[in-house]
Amino acid sequence: MKITVVGDFGIDIYENLAITKPGGIAFNFAYHFSQDNTDSKISLVAALGDDKNGKILKKLARSLSLNITNIQTLKGLTPLQKIKLVNGERNFTGYTAGVLKKWKLDKEDLDFLAKQDVIFIPLSDGMEHIFNKIKNLKTKAIKIVDFSQDYEFADFDNEENVITK
């Protein structure tokens, strides 16, 4: 099965622990899914900066056997999330979208995505333009969406906005 994850791949900085880790919803999903599904080919479609962090993350993804053919390297900063761990809970204290602000899916990305069996994409602030491209993509792929609780237009008190079964 060909499974592709589209979206945020960046650096998580745990400020009060002095720990830096790879992160981003898309990367986390791709990583964890690849650990349990060795029969599937997991691809990551994302944008990284041409900075040191981008180079480190690309090398890491390659070492995890993720297909990174469709990771774009753009001039600028790799996405960065600042986090404080308090009583076991993550508190997000600052986000820099970096190159995600200017990232666009190109024809090669869209052709690649159209041939997948499953496409996973998180919908979060700043990713609407990418989400809309995926939403409108003509494909037989199953499309899975993570509607981020942090998304500014999310209204989870309204039953119509919550997907049950």
pLDDT in tens, 32-83: 888 876 677 899 999 999 999 999 999 999 999 999 999 999 999 999 999 9
Judged by DSSP in three states, 76 sits in: coil
Q: Where are the beta strands (DSSP E) in 75-141?
A: 80-86, 89-96, 118-123
Provide the pLDDT for residue 33: 84
Structure token pair of residue 22 = 């790879």
The four Cα atoms 147, 149, 155, 157 give a dihedral, to 10 degrees, of 110
Give the global pTM.
0.84
Provide the pLDDT for residue 128: 83
Q: How far apart are CA 134 and CA 140, in angstroms?
A: 12
Q: How far apart are CA 165 and CA 54, in angstroms?
A: 38
Task: Report the share of the chain in percent with pLDDT over 70.
Answer: 87
70-103 pLDDT tens trace:
999 999 999 999 999 999 898 999 999 999 989 9
Whether 48 contacts 72, CB under 8 Å: yes
β partners of residue 91 = 84
Question: In Å, what is the CA distance from 150 to each residue of 68, 82, 123, 126, 155?
Answer: 27, 15, 9, 11, 10
β partners of residue 67 = 43
Provide the pLDDT for residue 73: 97
Q: How far apart are CA 34 and CA 50, in angstroms?
A: 26
Provide the pLDDT for residue 41: 87
Q: Which of 9-13, 73-77, 122-126, 146-150 has the lowest mean pLDDT?
A: 146-150
Judged by DSSP in three states, 28 sits in: helix
Provide the pLDDT for residue 58: 96
Structure token pair of residue 70 = 């469709």
Q: How far apart are CA 93 and CA 62, in angstroms?
A: 29
